[in-house]
Amino acid sequence: MSDLHEDTAALLAEAKTPTRRPTVAALEEKLFRPVHVLDHGFVRVIDYMGDDAAIVQAARVSYGKGTKSQRNDRGLIRYLMRHRHTTPMEMCEIKLHVKLPIFVARQWIRHRTANVNEYSARYSILDREFYIPEPGQLAEQSNSNRQGREQPLSSEQAQAVRDILRRDAMTCYDTYTNMINDDGTGEKIDPNAPQVARELARINLGAGYYTQWYWKTDLHNLFHFLSLRAHSHAQYEIQVYAEAIAEMTKLWVPMAFEAFEDYRMGAAHFSTDEVKILRAALDGVSLREFLKGSDLSAREVNEFRKKLGKI
Amino acid sequence: MSDLHEDTAALLAEAKTPTRRPTVAALEEKLFRPVHVLDHGFVRVIDYMGDDAAIVQAARVSYGKGTKSQRNDRGLIRYLMRHRHTTPMEMCEIKLHVKLPIFVARQWIRHRTANVNEYSARYSILDREFYIPEPGQLAEQSNSNRQGREQPLSSEQAQAVRDILRRDAMTCYDTYTNMINDDGTGEKIDPNAPQVARELARINLGAGYYTQWYWKTDLHNLFHFLSLRAHSHAQYEIQVYAEAIAEMTKLWVPMAFEAFEDYRMGAAHFSTDEVKILRAALDGVSLREFLKGSDLSAREVNEFRKKLGKI
Amino acid sequence: MSDLHEDTAALLAEAKTPTRRPTVAALEEKLFRPVHVLDHGFVRVIDYMGDDAAIVQAARVSYGKGTKSQRNDRGLIRYLMRHRHTTPMEMCEIKLHVKLPIFVARQWIRHRTANVNEYSARYSILDREFYIPEPGQLAEQSNSNRQGREQPLSSEQAQAVRDILRRDAMTCYDTYTNMINDDGTGEKIDPNAPQVARELARINLGAGYYTQWYWKTDLHNLFHFLSLRAHSHAQYEIQVYAEAIAEMTKLWVPMAFEAFEDYRMGAAHFSTDEVKILRAALDGVSLREFLKGSDLSAREVNEFRKKLGKI
Amino acid sequence: MSDLHEDTAALLAEAKTPTRRPTVAALEEKLFRPVHVLDHGFVRVIDYMGDDAAIVQAARVSYGKGTKSQRNDRGLIRYLMRHRHTTPMEMCEIKLHVKLPIFVARQWIRHRTANVNEYSARYSILDREFYIPEPGQLAEQSNSNRQGREQPLSSEQAQAVRDILRRDAMTCYDTYTNMINDDGTGEKIDPNAPQVARELARINLGAGYYTQWYWKTDLHNLFHFLSLRAHSHAQYEIQVYAEAIAEMTKLWVPMAFEAFEDYRMGAAHFSTDEVKILRAALDGVSLREFLKGSDLSAREVNEFRKKLGKI
């Protein structure tokens, strides 16, 4: 499993072909070039279809002359995003090549509306590459957030954890190599030992080992992915991938991305009761008084304050 | 609803942009150019992603060095198709602009794994365009095939049917125009009459009226669509669209299309019992004798004979 | 196409079988009984899987002991809904039998994550049943909302529109009957005339004709359907179906439905800029002053005021 | 992560409720009862919707009177299966609770058209349970099939592999326990050590560790799953799950399952060229002679012979 696919050299060549398809110069510059993520991972754009104008074009097919009132593309895209008219966003597609730890892949794959070709450890041999968190990322279990981390470890503690993670990963890989008894050429290392089937040997490798895949999705589903995985509640190790992809998306469809940030990433959602409270507050009722008398649970009151930056 | 979207002129221009993406010269020639289907319909390719090499590239990510034994791209693509390893086919994507009668759209939309933006008759005004079958297509209900047609009408009968279809469609459109009371400019035709909401007025138009949409899907799902809709059991009016798209697909991914024809379109499927019969027949048992003694229903025997060209 | 499937009588029988599966007594009472919608339509529940407890059970599999802190089922369900943890909602499933006009079916089918078996007019004969809007529903095209209706017609105008819709529908159906030349028994009405294939004859019938289908979906996707189709911006004729289904959903999963109403249906979504304005307003800045100086378009200011009930 | 969910006792109780829904007595007997798979895994049915009659009922909605000619349910179901009319199969749904090794889960999750709630190792603590293959399952890498296993190891070799797999798994779990520093009560084991976040600590555990999930799918997609995973080319460890589910499916929808076996599992697929050869062979041309002169690759000739049992 080489980091970059063997014909990458060819792909990276400056050779360009003329096309009549919509082309995004800013993204063309980045095509095939890996953006490094975590200690051994990367993301790179392999192909894309469509641009901001393709979203507008699809919306205009739907609405016909009904879109004439939207004087410009930016306004129309913002309108679509605001009102969750998502089908025109589906008219853009992107294909990525990602190298990522298995535990990240396990979260990522839950996004079902995507096409995936993953490296198969039944067919081929996994490399000795595994994720060791940076010391600053090694943190204690959060008490308030059951699925999060909180207080970073001391640098000694962090170093100890890193050492033991590396030790276990190396031990397991040595076992793997011994079991498959293959130096990658198909030749036996130990001529007297068996070559255990790869599909069995790989079960000894941990969730920190790297895999890779081609992942292709449309812009609507990409935004959904980003809204969940670039979110502060996502696990750090998938967040960094989401952020790298967000940067690429910004180059690809700058208007749609701006609308996504304004209406999705930075937006807040208020429940029926919360809207009532907001209305009363704007009419001069003290927020503090109102919350006291409300049906909101303590947890909801906290979430409400957080959304308004009143913590 | 103009046949071709207003910025088509621009699209049709010879202007080309350089790209590093995979480009298929044969398909570039056809981009944006409508292929006429039925009396007022068309299909045209708006955009595409990937080519035969992109299928191979994705398969090689999955199988790693495991694909080295497949010496060439064509062999690998045929292997994938034969063994229904379909995910690499999903790495290619195509976007079409289609103008089609509503009853065809209703069959087509049942293919769920696609992205669609359809012209909205809630927003905009439908044109006076409806499908009248060619005389040669007007046929009697089939007796053997509950969902098919058989014996063509005589030319007098066909002409009579065409006349009455046209008459009804025109009457309904006149009513539509009167109800919306709009000449397409938003101005009233009759200043004293109301302008009934478009979303209501359109219910008076029949399933033969034309709609249009952008339709985007991946190659695996496109092949599935073609296998069902270019099939002789599909309704003629959707078959002709499927055939037009098949021609485009052949230009786009010639190797994959050839494999699709060999292993899907032209292939035959034999049940457990049928395989037993085949085996015996190859061992010299008379097919006729064998079928007599088998559990197959008369219907299945017919289907079996048909698959072997022994009708 | 009889309204109720032929074995409905059996289904409606009081016969009950014991089951170990989760059972919802309130919904059992309604099983198979059609709720009438529009002039000839209906919705009825054919089957269901799961209940509120099934959502909780699935969530507890995911979170393990991590859900112990959520002391009760209602609190956990509300937490899931609030934070859009939607997968446990997918563990409930419902199957409906719906009779609906074709133009409503065309909007409905755009919800792709569902299973559908629709009555086929290629196989079978459509009944002489079409939708004629109630006078109070016949309204003029809205100017502010390109896809809506506004001012109702006068009762004379409405009656005139109803008459002409009925006239056109009857004429088209007469043509249909003449073309298929079949009284429903397979026997010819006119022994000397042809029987045009059903798949062709049906193209003469309008979008107001009724079709029917079985439609099956999970609770998460049902909520998505309801959020779009029970919404005031949806076309009235699909809204009434969504409302009928909402009532059934409330009986089926009362806790989840309550949470859905509080956090989805009654909720408001504020953009990055709108949240800034809210924060300032709560700090005492005059909303009016703030809006003057903001980047929001006139349209967005209107939408903002509407969300806060300040119109 | 207890094997069986805490309220299983209640579920297993004999308590039954009356329902009007279709009920399958043979499956009711098996509800909630785990079928053991591999060394620590299981599958159990949690809920189901529909039965053979529900498939027929949905088909009859589609075809209307057009299905009258199919005199009985079994014949209709076989017809649907033979002609790949799959939508009526989607009207049945099943929900399973599965405990399975992570590497099996990684293959399984690739079936995207299903609903899943998996145990989260971000929230909760994984048990010290991992898969160790039975000696008879430990085999060498296949040479002919890049993704398979072949010649079993000798019993000494197998024992050595099992010992080292167990040793590595135990070592990694000890590290895991030390990192999370929690005996499962939330209390620290070592009061002076940190409690590393679970989402980090779990990356040290291998793909052989057990996870569990609720998995819900419709019958059409279940058949697709079984056709790929109960197939002899699937990895043994997922095959045994597929076989256990096949047994349950047979109890649930016996007619559909029989048709699935006859037309899918036991069926053979012949390409355009292979059909030509079959036709010629049935006309008396020697198969051997014909194959010599054909365009089939050596690999295809082998596959062809295999399908006909002529190896």
Q: How many CB atoms lie within 10 A of CB D259?
A: 25
Predicted confidence (pLDDT) at residue B175 exceeds the cutoff of 80? yes
What's chain A's average pLDDT? 90
**pLDDT digits over C103-140, tens only?**
999 999 999 999 999 999 998 999 999 999 999 999 99
Query: How high is the pLDDT of residue D162?
Result: 98
CB distance D73 to D52 below 8 Å: yes
Q: How confident is the model at residue C306 (pLDDT cuts 50, 70, 90)?
A: confident
d(CA D291, CA D297) in angstroms, rounded, equals: 10
Identify all chain C residues contacting A284, using CB atoms and an 8 Å cutoff. none
pLDDT tens-digit readout, A235-262: 999 999 999 999 999 999 999 999 999 9
Which of D168, D188, D238 would you mutate first to test chain A, the one with the most A CBs within 10 A?
Answer: D168
Q: Which of A229, A279, A288, A299 is catalytic?
A: A229
Nearest alpha carbon to residue D121 among A164, A205, A160, A102: A102
- Nearest-Cα residue of chain D relative to residue B271: D267
Task: State how far the Cα of B137 lies from the Cα of B151, in Å rounded to an integer.
Answer: 10
Mean pLDDT of A23-40: 96
Judge: B200–C148 Cβ closer than 8 Å, yes or no: no
pLDDT at B64 over 80: no
Residue pair C203/B165 in contact (Cβ under 8 Å)? The answer is: yes
Instruction: Name the D residues in 37-56 with CB < 8 Å from any A CB.
Output: none
Find the mean pLDDT for residues A164-180: 97
* Neighbors of chain C with 3 or more C-beta pairs under 8 Å: A, B, D
Least confident residue range of B69-73, C83-87, D68-72, D258-262: D68-72
Q: What is the pLDDT of residue B145?
A: 72
Cβ of A119 within 8 Å of Cβ of B7? The answer is no
With an 8 Å Cβ cutoff, is C203 touching chain B? yes
Q: Is A159's pLDDT higher than 80?
A: yes
| Confidence (pLDDT) at D3 | 45
Find the closest chain B residue to D111 by CA distance. Answer: B87
Cα distance from D145 to chain C (closest Cα, Å)? 37
B112, B151, B206 ranked by CB distance to C172: nearest: B206
Sheet of C41-49, strand order: C35-37, C41-49, C93-101, C210-218, C115-118
Contacts of B25 (CB under 8 A, 6+ apart): none
Q: Cα distance from D180 to chain A (closest Cα, Å)?
A: 8
Query: In sequence order, which residues have a C-beta less than 8 Å from that of residue A93 and are 6 or more positions away?
Result: A48, A49, A50, A216, A217, A218, A219, B49, B93, B216
Tens of pLDDT, residue by residue over A46-74, are 999 999 999 999 999 888 765 555 568 99
What percent of chain B lies above the pLDDT cut of 70?
Answer: 92
> Cβ of D131 and A168 within 8 Å?
no
- Mean pLDDT for D15-35 is 95
Tell me whether C28 touches chain A (CB under 8 Å): no
Decide which of C275 and C160 is more confident: C160
B88/C contact by beta carbon, under 8 A = no
Residues of B designated as active site: 229
D152-180 confidence digits (pLDDT tens): 999 999 999 999 999 999 999 999 999 99
> Catalytic annotation on A167?
no
Query: Rounded CA gap, B51 and A67, in Å?
Result: 34
What is the structure's pLDDT at B3?
Answer: 46
Nearest Cα to Cα of residue D237 among D45, D34, D41:
D41
Contact across the interface for C206 and B112, Cβ inside 8 Å: no
DSSP run (H or E) holding C136: none
Mean pLDDT over all residues of chain C? Answer: 90
How many CA atoms lie within 13 Å of D263's alpha carbon, on the beta-carbon side? 21
pLDDT greater at residue A309 or residue A243:
A243
The length of chain C, given as a count of residues: 311
Q: B-chain residues within 8 Å CB-CB of A50? A: 47, 95
- Closest by Cβ to D115, choosing from C90, C95, C118: C90
Residue A266 has pLDDT above 50, yes or no: yes
Chain B neighbours, 3+ Cβ pairs < 8 A: A, C, D
- Mean pLDDT throughout C89-109? 98
pLDDT, mean of residues A168-196: 93
Is B262–D273 a contact, with Cβ atoms under 8 angstroms apart?
A: yes
Q: Would an 8 Å CB–CB cutoff place C90 in contact with chain A?
A: no
Question: What mean pLDDT comes out for the span C235-262?
Answer: 98
Kindly report which listed range (B243-257, C8-22, C260-274) carries the lowest average pLDDT score: C8-22
Work out the pLDDT band at B310, boundaries 50, 70, 90.
low
What was the pLDDT predicted at B303? Answer: 86
pLDDT band at C70 (very low <50, low <70, confident <90, very high): low
pLDDT at B65: 62
**Residue C223, pLDDT score:** 98
Q: For residue B99, is pLDDT > 80?
A: yes
User: Which amino acid belongs to residue C105?
Assistant: A
Query: Is pLDDT larger for residue B4 or for residue B125?
Result: B125
d(CA B274, nearest CA chain D) in Å: 8
- The two tokens of residue A168 are 């276990």
Lowest-confidence region among B124-133, B195-204, C37-46, D54-63: D54-63
Establish if C81 touches chain B: CB-CB under 8 angstroms. Answer: no
